[in-house]
Amino acid sequence: MSEVKHVPAKSFLVKTGLGSDFACNPYVGCTHACSYCYARFMGNHAHRPEPWGSYVEIKDYPNYDIPRNTGEKSVMFSSVTDPYQPIEKTAKRTRAILEEICESRLHVSFLTKSALILRDLDLFSAMANVTVGFSIALDDVSASVLEPGASLPSERIRALQSLHQAGIRTFVFIAPILPGITDVFTILDAVDEHSDFVMFDRLSLKHPENKANIFRYVANRKPELLGLYRNVFENKDSTYYDSLAQRIRDRAQERGRDYRLFIGKGE
């Protein structure tokens, strides 16, 4: 990884339309280096020559003042970075923000691929409204290749269990679902009892580098799936995701679970 830089930022909260009133991105970039990362486009905005996933910058804020009229509005950590990527262990930018806002009335939510989030259980326990989510879509073997900088999925599941047992509201985001690779129902078996709800989303390969990365992985390690991937992502055949979505709905109805789908017909 290249030298870590600090960059000035006006506010730790920015307005967003991604299901929350505000987003907080304590870092620029992310060294989890996920092969399919939807935030890869941010590399162009950061004006960095290095490949996305190989660098991170720490944001420096003039203060941690909560804007007027924020009240009980919602803030998500994070929309284009992971607030608990490896550098957070020493930089502690996310923790510094939480220490300042933990007594506020903000509704705070997290989505991460890092077991490091368990470090801040003391702050979560003191907050009025906090929800912690883990993105889990692969087994440890696949994740070690496709998400090389992130905690292994098994580590995330153990952290999920610990947080849920401590009384923290938790969820799992099974995304992106890689056809023929993501074992959705095995993941559900592992997380259902430890999550208040589960969300699902398909794999997007709109970015040409993401498509090249995933097709290369499939060709090298899962060549029997190449036809399926061409059908789904080049021929735009929705049959795979439509069928999977119905199976997930059936399970939700059977078990009385709160499943939120962004795949399949009508999603």
Q: Which helix (DSSP H) or strand (DSSP E) does residue 173 occupy? A: strand 169-177
**Per residue in 188-241, pLDDT tens?**
999 999 999 999 999 999 999 999 999 999 999 999 999 999 999 999 999 999
Q: Model confidence at 267, in pLDDT bands (50, 70, 90)?
A: very low
Q: What is the DSSP letter of 16?
A: -
Domain count, the chain: 1
Q: Is residue 168 a part of any domain in this protein?
A: yes
The structure's pTM equals 0.93
The residue range of the domain holding 157 is 5-261
- Which two structure tokens, joined as six digits, stand for 141? 């073997």
Q: Is residue 267 a part of any domain in this protein?
A: no
**Per residue in 161-197, pLDDT tens?**
999 999 999 999 999 999 999 999 999 999 999 999 9
Q: What is the largest CA-CA distance in the chain?
A: 56
Q: Over pLDDT 70: what percentage of the chain?
A: 92
Q: Is residue 266 a part of any domain in this protein?
A: no
Strands across the sheet with 5-8, in order? 5-8, 56-60, 27-29
**Per residue in 9-60, pLDDT tens?**
999 999 988 889 999 999 999 999 999 998 776 655 556 677 777 789 999 9
Strands 14-15 and 22-23, bridge-based pairing: antiparallel
Yes or no: say if 179 and 235 are a contact pair by the CB < 8 Å rule.
Answer: no
Q: Is residue 137 a part of any domain in this protein?
A: yes
Q: What angle do CA 168, 171, 172 make, to 5 degrees?
A: 140
Q: What angle do CA 35, 120, 30 make, to 5 degrees?
A: 20
Predicted pLDDT at 83: 97
Q: Is residue 71 a part of any domain in this protein?
A: yes
Q: Model confidence at 65, in pLDDT bands (50, 70, 90)?
A: confident
Whichever domain contains 185, its CATH number is 3.80.30
Predicted pLDDT at 48: 65
**Per residue in 72-110, pLDDT tens?**
789 999 889 999 999 999 999 999 999 999 988 899 999
Q: What is the rounded CA–CA span in Å between residue 39 and residue 100?
A: 27
Predicted pLDDT at 201: 97
